[in-house]
Amino acid sequence: MSNLGLSFLKKISVYAILALVLIACTHVYPPGISQFRGPNRDGQYIESNLSDQWPDAGPELQWSAEGIGRGYAAPVITKDKVFINGEIDSISHLFAFDLEGTLLWKTPMGREFLGSGFSATYPGSRSTPTVLDDLVYTVSGKGRIICCDVSSGDVQWELDMVKDLGGYQPYFGISESLAIDEDNLYCYPSGQVNNIVALNRYTGEEVWASVAMKDTSSFCSPIFIDLPDRKVLVTMSHYYLLGLDQATGELLWSYNIDGYEAEGDHCNTPIYNEGFIYQVFGDRYSQGAVKLKLAADGSSVNEVWRNDKVKNNFDGLIIHDDLMFTTVRGNYLKSLELEQGKVVDSVKVASGALIFSDNKFICYGHNGELNLINYAEGEFEIGGSFRIDQGKGQHFSQPVLSDGVMYIRHGDVLMAYKID
């Protein structure tokens, strides 16, 4: 074979290896897990043949369940159950329903966050449960973690992050949705010693504790990034985006959030995609949307760009088709190209929680309006909208998709709509 041919084959081999590395270097969660913002915590759901048009009155309501208590926690769906948290008479409860909306069990889990002063405007549950195998995990706004059997609701173990781990309750309550990887559960007590902690998910025993930046949490649910050299846990503190070695709790890097003004403004779950971490901050003086380059060994990050005009507090972001999508104040869904962070398109919607599946965005607006936005060949097309008319309180919960059904929580009511 000629030198030219050998050179070509070597280049092909290098490209193939690089492609395999890129595939391997992603955030990996256990198979079958049900958790906040979908199987990969990125707001995307694996669905097909969803309707691209909704009737004026909205999709068919299959069932609704009242009495789940106050709160904003989204449901999670398994093959045969729905799990959700809610506060009733100041007590937090974990509920299990079948897929027809029949209550199977409810388990009390101690006092729920009710707030004081301005934070009392937002009482109730915050954290979406996490389900893996035959166990379901959740945490109350006051920091009590419980692990329950999915069939009976019987408590397997429980732990109070404030009392048992020396933690701290933020002004708007503890709001993270617990992350699980293999045998461990990860939580953010915000203590000076036990700042971020890994627990054995079967027993609740401590695996490691990190002082991290000795900073309080910022209502963010963490993600995992699986690299060739290590796994990295990424989460938010009050002032920093943080990366920790998932095996040991060692702080690898921190990214300072400029202009942090008040607790409660940086709640979004970051997204990792092909070597970069994306996040959207909400404070009016902060960076807004940012792109960070993660070192190949996970040991550091460098800012690539920021767009301080694109901000939201807790509605989420989506990475798709080499674009970032997020809703912003002023009631728009915007898309940003990933190279430089410039806005390339927008469509008028009610700003709110955003998810994506089957080339469709679903946005649950803070005003109770649900919008369907078809997305194909770089173009937005409105596919319908309707307004939620059940429940009370703020419309802050994330929509969830499973087997052609959209689950929506508004206050003490859980609804299931057929959308395929």
We report the CATH number of the domain holding residue 162 as 2.130.10.10
Q: With cut-offs at 50, 70 and 90, classify the pLDDT of residue 261.
A: low
Reply yes or no on whether the pLDDT at 64 is more than 80.
Answer: yes
Per-residue pLDDT averaged across 169-195, rounded? 93
Q: Alpha carbon of 126 to those of 146, 175, 192: distances in Å?
A: 14, 5, 23
Q: Is 20 helix (H, G, I), strand (E, B) or coil?
A: helix
CA distance 222 to 178: 8
Dihedral sign computed on CA atoms, order 310, 231, 127, 259: negative
Exposure class string for 162-188: b at 16+ Cβ within 10 A, else e: bebbebbbbebbbbbbbbbbeebbbbb
The pLDDT value given to residue 94: 98
Reply yes or no on whether the pLDDT at 10 is more than 60.
Answer: no
Q: With cut-offs at 50, 70 and 90, classify the pLDDT of residue 13.
A: very low
Instruction: State the chain's mean pLDDT as an integer.
Output: 90
Share of the chain above pLDDT 70, in %: 91
Per-residue pLDDT averaged across 399-406, rounded? 98
- Name the more confident of 414 and 287: 414
The pLDDT value given to residue 18: 35
Reply yes or no on whether the pLDDT at 313 is more than 90.
Answer: no
What is the tally of structural domains in the chain? Answer: 1
Share of the chain above pLDDT 90, in %: 79
Reply yes or no on whether the pLDDT at 16 is more than 70.
Answer: no
Domain extent at residue 118: 3-418
What pTM does this model have? 0.91
